[in-house]
A and B are shown apart, each in its own frame.
Chain A
């Protein structure tokens, strides 16, 4: 069976382009605007990552952490997220992926997460604090509902470890471009290109990069080895400055 998430990248490949993958915490900056932003972003994106806010987001930098806290203050939780996604289902063409941390999913119950996410049209879940070693059972539950568990790898993931991930991953591989948390960097590390090339050899499924990305210039060197780009903090900052979403995506015209 075709994997709908992988297909998104393969279609872009045919036209020599990359998937554009904006990230926005659910219910940010407020519940109403969030829905409007998702509908607007849908015109420019292929996959949309919805952040499931958590009080202690250890993989995130200050911008996403603050946005998550605001989302929590706005009363965002998984029931609201699933309801909202059900409303958006059929209204947006982009594939929807959730990104969050173990505890809110665990508390909701993974089995119920899988069922409700499927009903809401979610095709993948990224769990920032779920490494290979803890993931077997959860991956099986999600897969039984046609949801991909998306794994993250990074600059310090050995080739041996990447091979172990390659045996179990689906949808796409999220390559973390810096040895750090989310948030914009002026420059990506020099060793990134070699590591991405190695990842390309090891993984047969698409590779998206994220963490630290703010401009097309940063990814020129690695452009040919990747299939998608994730924007989080840069987009949140853009929204915070009350600029329209279209302006943000214009920067990337021609690349994606």
Chain B
């Protein structure tokens, strides 16, 4: 079997009781997922159900202002309004092929929960979603959405009552129900093979960008920018370009309010090495190794860890990781609404905001692609509070 590491990061730091289902999944990842039949079925669903390929939109108005060429990869136009669906369709299909009948998932703001419930409904699987009790309260419409789609939402009352606790609860559920349940993890985090499995399902984003950009410009883009919470949309768009070292890759983390002592989610920029949720990576933690609460105005970036492959890309300097604070992200959000008629997710607004910072710093034939990982309808309530 493949080594479960990216340099020193990754691994399988889980209780022994979770090793048998992880090994089973590892075998399915190296067998079923790589088979032509599975890939054909998966790509068929991405095309006919998710609505792929999503467009690569040139932003004419903003490009004039910025002084370089800005392109958006329109994951906001995928079914359910974000890239999350690429992964859940893949994992739900895999679950069927593995002969299991139920998906269990964690969700923070509810986006991955909705995407999992959607894939479960389509493929006839049962679905249980663990969600921190505080998030259940904050994201009531998404709870209703999941329930409409036939999922059971279970609030988690332990510890901080947010995403990290929902992951703990889902892992605990999986220990007991591993025989007939697959854990549909929502990002490139967790124990091997999840970081690779989720990245592969999301890598369709980068493959499409490459083909679309080549077709339009007969070359590769100069620079790709994506937001990073756990990091699945970023790994999805980066992966195809890793070997093209001339393409600059930038991951954008959430700096929270941006004041020196504020809670944030800038794990790669301000965190330290540690082990959480089965993987060795960078974490927000105390000197004693206790996990700290994270924060961002963008609910989907609010996680105190980050995918181990991003930690590796940072260490090897193949990608750079920068930060954008809440205010900068909100400015970018407003700008894209007004200039291009697109309401972006607050997560994606972080990537956009970094592109805005490059204004007048680049040449007019420099091409930047921003991964617009989701649409912002879900965030209107948060945005209205700040306007």
Contacts and interface: CB of A to CB of B under 8 A. Distances in A.
Interface in A36-90: 54-59, 61-62, 65-66, 69, 72, 77-78
Interface stretch (B38-46, B272-280, B366-374): B272-280
Interface string B11-46: 111111111100000000000000000000000000
A131 B288 contact: no
B131 interface: no
Q: Which of A132, A151, A156 has the most CB of B within 10 A?
A: A156
Interface residues of A, number: 42
Interface in B274-329: 274-278, 283, 285, 287-291
B176 interface: yes
A189 to B, nearest CB: 11
Interface residues of B, number: 34
B15 A134 contact: no
A55 B291 contact: yes
A153 B272 CA distance: 31
Contacts of B288: 77-78, 104, 107-108
B159 A55 contact: yes
A169 to B, nearest CB: 12
Contacts of A69: 159
Contacts of A176: 16-17
A138 B267 CA distance: 26
Interface stretch (B55-63, B164-172, B219-227): B164-172
Contact of B274 (A59, A106, A128, A155): A106
Contacts of B80: none
B158 interface: yes
A133 B12 CA distance: 8
Contacts of A153: 16
A4 to B, nearest CB: 25
B287 A128 contact: no
Given A55-B290, A106-B275, A129 B176 contact: no
B178 interface: yes
B347 to A, nearest CB: 23
A101 B285 CA distance: 14
B263 to A, nearest CB: 15
Given A54-B289, A107-B288, A108-B289, A156 B15 contact: no
A104 B277 CA distance: 13
B383 interface: no
A157 B383 CA distance: 50
Q: From A61, A78, A102, A103, name the one whose CB has the most chain B CB atoms within 10 angstroms.
A: A103
A130 B13 CA distance: 5
A57 B164 CA distance: 11
Contact of A129 (B15, B164, B172, B274): B15
B289 A107 contact: yes
Given A106-B289, A154-B17, A156-B17, A56 B275 contact: no
Given A62-B158, A129-B278, A72 B20 contact: no
Given A129-B278, A133-B12, A151-B16, A56 B175 contact: no
A131 B15 contact: yes
A44 to B, nearest CB: 28
Nearest to B175: A180
B52 to A, nearest CB: 35
A77 B285 CA distance: 13
Contact of B16 (A57, A107, A154): A154
A107 B18 CA distance: 23
A65 B158 contact: yes
Nearest to B288: A77
A62 B169 CA distance: 10
A102 B15 CA distance: 11
A157 B16 contact: yes
B116 to A, nearest CB: 20
B11 A134 contact: yes
Given A65-B159, A179-B176, A102 B291 contact: no
Interface string A96-123: 0000011111111000000000000000
B167 to A, nearest CB: 8
A181 interface: yes
Nearest to A61: B172
Interface string B42-82: 00000000000000000000000000000000000000000
B80 to A, nearest CB: 28
A134 B280 CA distance: 11
Contacts of B285: 103, 107
A19 interface: no
A175 to B, nearest CB: 10
A26 to B, nearest CB: 12
A149 B190 CA distance: 24
Contact of A152 (B15, B171, B274): B15
A58 B290 contact: no
A158 interface: yes
A155 B15 CA distance: 13
30 contacts: A54-B289, A55-B291, A56-B159, A56-B276, A58-B15, A59-B15, A65-B158, A69-B159, A103-B276, A103-B285, A104-B288, A106-B289, A107-B272, A107-B285, A108-B288, A128-B15, A129-B13, A131-B16, A132-B19, A133-B11, A134-B11, A151-B16, A154-B16, A156-B17, A156-B20, A157-B17, A158-B20, A180-B17, A180-B175, A181-B172
Which 10 residue pairs of A and B lie closest in terms of their CB atoms, listed nearest first?
A107-B289, A104-B289, A77-B288, A102-B275, A103-B289, A55-B290, A59-B15, A55-B291, A180-B176, A103-B275
Interface of A: 54-59, 61-62, 65-66, 69, 72, 77-78, 101-108, 128-134, 151-158, 161, 176, 179-181
